[in-house]
Structure 1
Amino acid sequence: MVRRHELTNTQREHIAPLLPQTGAPGGRWADHRTVVNGVLYRTGTGIPWRDLPERYGSWQTVYERHRRWSADGTWSRILRALQAGADATAPDVDGSWAVNVDSTTCRAHQHAAGARHAPPADHPEKGAERVWTQRAGEALGRSRGGLTSKVHLLTDDRCRPLVWLTSPGQRGDSPMFIPLMQALNVARTGTGRPRTRPDRARGDKAYSSRANRAYLRKRGIKATIAQPDDQRAKRRRRGRAGGRPPAFDREQYRRRNTVERCIGKLKQHRAVATRYDKRDYIFNGTLATAAIVIWLRDPIKEPSDTA
């Protein structure tokens, strides 16, 4: 019987070939499906690792597998494989590929504080593959509300996460836009280099800046970014020297809501809505497992499926 937060047989078949096939030298992995279900259960419910139900086996095994796969990029490689061909399965009405950008703040539990300054030996900064994260301390910031982390996110038009970066909660949105676009890398289902340049990028007023618009213009990406009132007033005060207002398509801007809906899907996982992980790379692994669930529930459709 498949319980809530667990993989169905079809979903397991999708990711089984992507999981590591061997364990430590001289040892054997515990059953992957049981451990992955344990990780997904914890991601969905946000319970302490020690409180995992006994049906998932030893909680230390489940936690250690999650920590290791967060460090070596296993979760990210699974997600990248599921994302292959995303530009072909989420086209705009005119057949182009659009991405949507926004950010969300995740309140950090008190258990997320107090990490050691020196990372463990298998931390990504010690040589293992490092993806999806931009380190600033442990991506924890302190404000009136306490400890927070911010997740900066790019999604496609089917509310599926493509790439994200984490930062302290007080970090602004606009400075993270270019790093996000640079991190975008979607593999193709066939031959050819990965797609790194969408046809259009949509964002709210927080992303309206000369640097961001110049970056998109240089790469030939159409910008659908709302302009705040103060920028409009400044341009008008300068008269002809202020130049023309940037192009803005209201109909396209209405479709930006997909990123907000994707954030809603991510935060249905309680270990994402509230950060419990001390280490940024483990929190990114938790984000990756939530993203994997979203992609498994909206799988890639091959051309033969739609013919």
Structure 2
Amino acid sequence: MSRGDLTDDEWAVLEPLLPLSNNRCGRWRDHRQVINGIIHRLGTSCQWRELPERFGPWQTVHKRHLLWSADGTWERLLRHVQAVADAAGDIDWDINVDSTSVRAHQHAAGARKDPPLAPAVPKGALQGAVRTLLAFLEEAARPGEALGRSRGGLTTKVHLAADGKCRPLALVVTPGQRADCTQFEPVLDKIRVPRTGLGRPRRRPASVSADRAYSNGIIRGYLRRRGIRHAIPEKSDSQAARLRKGSRGGRPPAFSPARYRQRNTVERAVNKLKQFRAVATRYDKRGYVYLGTVTAAALLIWLRS
């Protein structure tokens, strides 16, 4: 799944969606040849300059991947394939949410930093607490490159929602130390499967399952407001606190063990993504480029499922 070139059937799905020219230098180099080069790099995680000559100049393949990661082309292709599958009734909307940590290679660090959003403050002009607050606000306004320190060292975390057939529906990348529960709503909000005909894109799943890392009142309230059934086990400390309150603690949240057993589909979706060596280890310096790499791998999973 992770190495072979595009087949004729797969190329027939993608070809109508790709641009005919780049509006600057005439026609693009053969898209199929370039995509095959990107697939080769996804499966082998080789350096761009080590691509075999049959894929053309490595600079072209590299720049095309950077461009399509930045302008959302990979995501648009993924949504189109999902829309075709949904129109055929091929999506199981009992989805599952989880995350996985990815070790970053040392070459993934060192991306050139953008100029600061706030003007430089002279040394000693502000107290330490105020200076720390300014740094926090700047980081919140302009997220970094999805690289963070955790127990495994320099890592990136991939948060995803998978359908019942082990295929990624939505993807979000964050620094490796980011808590899973903080990205639950962004992942679900990113689910957007267009209709092939008239109608709004489908955004609400039939049900959601997740592990105890997502068990809190904020997430349950979010699902309740959207009318989404869920199977999320209650944490032991939350259960003990509820029992201590007696009748004031309220009823226990509904939980279906049979539905929860289907959560293995998201674990299998993670395994499929990590069959691509360029996903299992992060080599991309920029966060948006690594997200494009993961999205291209998800596209291949949908095409070849």
The TM-score bracket by the shorter chain reads: 0.7 to 0.9
- Structure 2 residue matching 1:238: 3-state secondary structure: helix
Query: How far apart, CA to CA, are the structure 1 residues paired with 2:242 and 2:155?
Result: 35
Instruction: Work out which of the two has the higher radius of gyration on C-alpha atoms and give 1 or 2.
Output: 2
Secondary structure at the aligned position of 1:175 is classed as: helix
Distance (Å, rounded) in 2 between the aligned partners of 1:151 and 1:164: 7
What is the CA–CA distance in structure 1 between the aligned matches of 2:191 and 2:264, rounded to whole Å?
Answer: 19
* 1:103 match: secondary structure: strand
Deviations 1:203-258 (A, max 9, x none): 01111110000010111100111112121111111111111100001111111111
Give the AA of the match of 2:183: M
Name the residue aligned to 1:305: none
Deviations 1:37-85 (CA, angstroms, capped at 9, x unpaired): 0001101111111111111111101000100111111111111100115
Q: What is the RMSD computed on CA atoms of the aligned residues?
A: 1.6
> What amino acid does structure 2 have at the position aligned with 1:89?
D
Match of 1:103 among 88, 99, 105: 99
Letter paired with 2:41:
R
The alpha-carbon deviation at position 277 of structure 1 amounts to: 0.2
Match of 2:219 in 1: 212
1:75 and 1:198 mapped to 2: Cα distance? 23
Q: Residues 199 and 220 of structure 1 are in contact (CA less than 8 Å); yes or no, is this contact kept in structure 2?
A: no
Counterparts of 1:185-264 in structure 2, within 5 Å, are: 185-264=192-271
CA contact (8 A) 2:20 2:27 kept: no
Q: How much does 1:135 deviate? A: 6.8
Corresponding residue number in structure 2 for 1:41: 40
CA deviation after TM superposition for structure 1 residue 23, in Å? 2.1
Aligned equivalent of 2:127: none
AA paired with 2:149? R
% same residue: 57
Residues 104 and 199 of structure 1: CA distance in aligned 2, closer, same or farther (over 3 Å):
same
State the partner residue of 1:174: 181
2:91 maps to amino acid: A
- Post-superposition shift, 1:145? 2.3
Per the alignment, residue 139 of structure 1 pairs with 146
Deviation at 1:25, TM superposition (A): 2.4
For the 8 Å contact 2:171–2:295, the answer to whether it is kept is: no
CA contact (8 A) 1:86 1:186 kept: no
Q: Which residue of 2 aligns with 1:57?
A: 56
Q: Which secondary structure does the structure 2 equivalent of 1:27 belong to?
A: coil
Where does residue 117 of structure 1 map in the other structure? 113
1:9 aligns with 2:8: yes
Residues 162-211 of structure 1 show CA distances to partners (whole Å, capped at 9, x for unaligned) of 11111100000011111211221111232210011112111011111100
Count of residue pairs the alignment pairs up:
277
* C-alpha distance in 2 between matches for 1:24 and 1:292: 26
The more displaced of 81-90 and 13-22 is 81-90
2:166 to 159, 168, 172: 159
- The 2-side partners of 1:63 and 1:139 are apart by 20
Contact 1:135 1:280 in 2 (8 A): no
Whole-angstrom CA distance in 2 between matches of 1:245 and 1:90: 31
Residues 6, 163 of structure 1: CA spacing in aligned structure 2 closer, same or farther, 3 A cutoff? Answer: same
Q: What CA deviation, in whole Å up to 9, does each residue of 1:98-129 have, x standing for no partner?
A: 2110000010000100001129xxxxxxxxxx
CA contact (8 A) 1:85 1:186 kept: no
Indicate the residue corresponding to 2:134 in structure 1: none
